[in-house]
Structure 1
Amino acid sequence: MTARRAYADVAHGQIHVVTAGDSGPWVVLLHESPLSWRVYEPAIEPLAQHFRVMLPDTPGYGGSTPGERSWEVPDYAAALLVAVRQTVGDEPFIVLGCHTGASIALEVARQAEGQARGAVFLGLPAYDPETRADRLAHWAPDKAVSPDGSHLADMWDRYTRIWDAPPLAAKNRAVLDALGALEHYNWGYNATFRYDPVPALVALGIPVLFLTAEHDALADADRRCAEMIGARLAKLPGLPGQIGVRAPQRLADELHAFAATLDA
């Protein structure tokens, strides 16, 4: 399956976009920070059997122009929605997001005003205020290039710590993506930690699927949110996270099944 690359012009610069697939409904996949579309790369081929797939890089990550340090989640979503509409036109789409990408996906769905026909969350950061404050203070401190190169090992150690025994190639890709955005790698994180997704989730009014790795750090948050709004929760047993890398066919199958319920 050949993935096609393009850039969408938006107010602050450009959004890098990867697309694949020639038929079926549109699905937009938003990555976690500070990574890129490549966290879904293994899933592109199985997804493109049923969907037209759009994978944009969040502003500041991958190949997309950074926004501002002061941006909040709705700002990221607004820029991405411009890129989405340049790609899919006025056709409906399903939006999927993981971790920081889940918060942004929620806002994309809210701002799309009915064009988003369903939303899928792979770990929605629905933290209580105390946890959000702690994450802001400690999770992603500012970083810069070190003269001795220690920032390289530091980022490798970070993904050793926060990902549970990932495939080596996926870990290497994550580190490269994070290093490529080093001086603003935490902007997306911190916008997410300042954002409470619950009000928007409760008011969303479209079908929602929580697709959760059993041992993901946000698995409990997904369970609580699914119960709160009466959404379906699909748990992937044994997985620590990174569904697009570790279980790409399951991701495609679950998304296909979800899409079928929207047509029923």
Structure 2
Amino acid sequence: MITRYFIDVETNGNKRRVHYRLAGSGPPLLMVHQSPRSSKEYEALMQKWAKHFTCIAPDTPGFGQSDPLPGKPEINEYADALIEFLDALGVKKCAAYGFHSGGIILVTAVKRHANHFTTLAIGGYAIWTPEEMQLFSEKYLPEFHPSDYGEHLTWLWNRILEQSWFFPWFATDNEHRLSVAHGDPQRVDAVVREMLDAGNAYQAGYGAVLRAPRDIPAVDADVPPCLISAYDGDPLQDHIDRLGAMPSSWSAMKVATPEDHQAASLQHLLTAETGLTEELHQAPDEGFLAIEVENFKGLIHWRGKKTSSKLVIHAPGRALSKDGASNGVHIDLAGHGLSDDWLGNPPTDWHSWSKLIDACAEQLGIENIIYDPLPSGDAALLYPDLLPDRFGCYLTKAWQAVRAMQMFEPWYEATAAHAVPVDPGSLRPEILAERHLELLNARAAREYHLASLTKSPIKPRNI
């Protein structure tokens, strides 16, 4: 099972929170994702490699659920941030795997902190020509900010979709076509959500990687072994021929498929010396509860002070309050926010939901449960179908619903009779963007609403 945690990393008086995934047992393996993704992209691989390693996959700064680095960081700061994370976690030495930009960060970390690693496996290592670097610097990383009417979502969908058609994504000509084109809404949606999490912070992390020097360690460098491999269809496969002279313990190879790349990487990683680790640490005021009740078996995200006397349950379609640390303990309900989904279809009976909520309260040692009120309206209309579609229309549908929520109650009754006073601050794009992501992540909102209608009136209660 993959578990998830938060940890605070403090450097020069600055504290930042890092989210990471953990799976397996045995020697530690650090797994660094590509940009603009998060550690979620490694879930399937972590399940495969968990039988060999304790797989540790952080969200790099500014991506996923990790705080960004301050200022205008470059590649050395991202490499050092990895070491700071390992130190805070209690990992003294480990093997490491990185794909694309994750590999760039790792190679930089090895050059600066070689004694922290036993061996590396890298998926594709970019060696850009000056002409390619110039091309990327002009168009590759435009600023990404929410817009009033959701125009940014149309750009985002097409940006992520077409990067499997052309490389770089904006070079829409025959010369830059890729052989791995797809139109899979689920695959596009996965990256879109990670971009929505990162926001414009993606520009800093991704930009640092693109600007990073591409100097492989010198032939006589005292560095741990490394295998670099790339498969057919990977735009970085041709870069294997650009690597040049490498340390004697380093090697590179071209393979046919992603599976071949993973198999070669695993075989190489298994030759590493055993890493060193202490008991892994985590943040005291945020994390995930492992809950198993009836048709739910997974993780529930929580935030707040465990010494609080109340557990606060958000309304359907929302997520836990960001001020949870000062106002009780808050959780993301199953099928909402960062929490896992129900097994099968979400239930519409209150018995199932209350058992899950009570199990969370019991683990947290809290007796008093406070429920936020339900929104007014028909549950069948309040929560529109937001399954990813081929054209990304679900993204703008959710944005328009969230915008209308600030003007009408219920939001789908856009008439003068249902108008509510407008707070101009609630229409700021950054506020709408938070609500938009909450609604997209509310996979079980309708079912929770329907179940809530069958329980007793909302009031604090003891369990």
TM > 0.5 between the two?
Answer: yes
What percent of counterpart residues are identical?
24
User: Which letter maps to 1:261?
Assistant: T
TM-score by length of 2: 0.50
CA distance in 1, matches of 2:40, 2:49: 14
Pair 1:147-2:166 in alignment: no
Q: Does the 8 Å CA contact 2:31/2:98 hold for their aligned counterparts?
A: yes
CA distance in 2, matches of 1:198, 1:16: 30
Counterpart residue number, 1:254: 264
User: Number of matched residues?
Assistant: 251
Pair 1:20-2:39 in alignment: no
Pair 1:42-2:44 in alignment: yes
CA distance in 2, matches of 1:256, 1:114: 21
Q: Following TM superposition, by how much is the alpha carbon of 1:213 offset from its aligned partner in structure 2, in angstroms?
A: 2.2
Task: Say which SS state the counterpart of residue 261 (structure 1) adopts.
Answer: coil
Pair 1:7-2:7 in alignment: yes
- Sort the Cα spacing of 1:233 and 1:198 in 2 relative to 1 into closer, same or farther, 3 A: same
- Sort the Cα spacing of 1:169 and 1:7 in 2 relative to 1 into closer, same or farther, 3 A: farther
User: Which letter maps to 1:219?
Assistant: Q
User: Which letter maps to 1:224?
Assistant: R
Q: Following TM superposition, by how much is the alpha carbon of 1:117 offset from its aligned partner in structure 2, in angstroms?
A: 1.4
Task: Say which SS state the counterpart of residue 223 (structure 2) adopts.
Answer: coil
User: Which letter maps to 1:172?
Assistant: D
Q: Does the 8 Å CA contact 2:25/2:52 hold for their aligned counterparts?
A: no
Q: Aligned ranges for residues 147-186 of structure 1 at < 5 Å? A: 147-163=148-164, 164-165=181-182, 168-186=185-203
Task: Say which SS state the counterpart of residue 114 (structure 1) adopts.
Answer: helix
Highest relative contact order (Cα 8 Å, sep 6+), 1 or 2?
A: 1
Pair 1:99-2:75 in alignment: no
Task: Say which SS state the counterpart of residue 142 (structure 2) adopts.
Answer: coil
Q: Following TM superposition, by how much is the alpha carbon of 1:132 offset from its aligned partner in structure 2, in angstroms?
A: 1.8
- Sort the Cα spacing of 1:29 and 1:70 in 2 relative to 1 into closer, same or farther, 3 A: same
Q: In structure 2, list runs of 5 or more residues that go unmatched.
A: 165-180, 274-463
Counterpart residue number, 1:210: 228
Task: Say which SS state the counterpart of residue 200 (structure 2) adopts.
Answer: helix
Q: Following TM superposition, by how much is the alpha carbon of 1:212 offset from its aligned partner in structure 2, in angstroms?
A: 1.1
- Sort the Cα spacing of 1:39 and 1:173 in 2 relative to 1 into closer, same or farther, 3 A: same
Which protein shows a greater Rg? Answer: 2
Q: Does the 8 Å CA contact 2:255/2:261 hold for their aligned counterparts?
A: no
- Sort the Cα spacing of 1:258 and 1:8 in 2 relative to 1 into closer, same or farther, 3 A: farther
Q: Following TM superposition, by how much is the alpha carbon of 1:50 offset from its aligned partner in structure 2, in angstroms?
A: 0.5
CA distance in 2, matches of 1:8, 1:236: 39
Task: Say which SS state the counterpart of residue 146 (structure 2) adopts.
Answer: coil
Counterpart residue number, 2:315: none
Task: Say which SS state the counterpart of residue 186 (structure 1) adopts.
Answer: helix
Structure 2 counterpart of 1:29, from 31, 36, 43: 31
CA distance in 1, matches of 2:262, 2:212: 28
TM-score by length of 1: 0.85
Q: Does the 8 Å CA contact 2:114/2:223 hold for their aligned counterparts?
A: no
CA distance in 2, matches of 1:126, 1:84: 27
Q: Following TM superposition, by how much is the alpha carbon of 1:234 offset from its aligned partner in structure 2, in angstroms?
A: 4.0
Deviations 1:108-148 (A, max 9, x none): 22232322111121122221233223212211111211222
Q: Does the 8 Å CA contact 1:127/1:196 hold for their aligned counterparts?
A: no
User: Which letter maps to 1:179?
Assistant: L
Q: Aligned ranges for residues 78-157 of structure 1 at < 5 Å? A: 78-90=80-92, 92-157=93-158
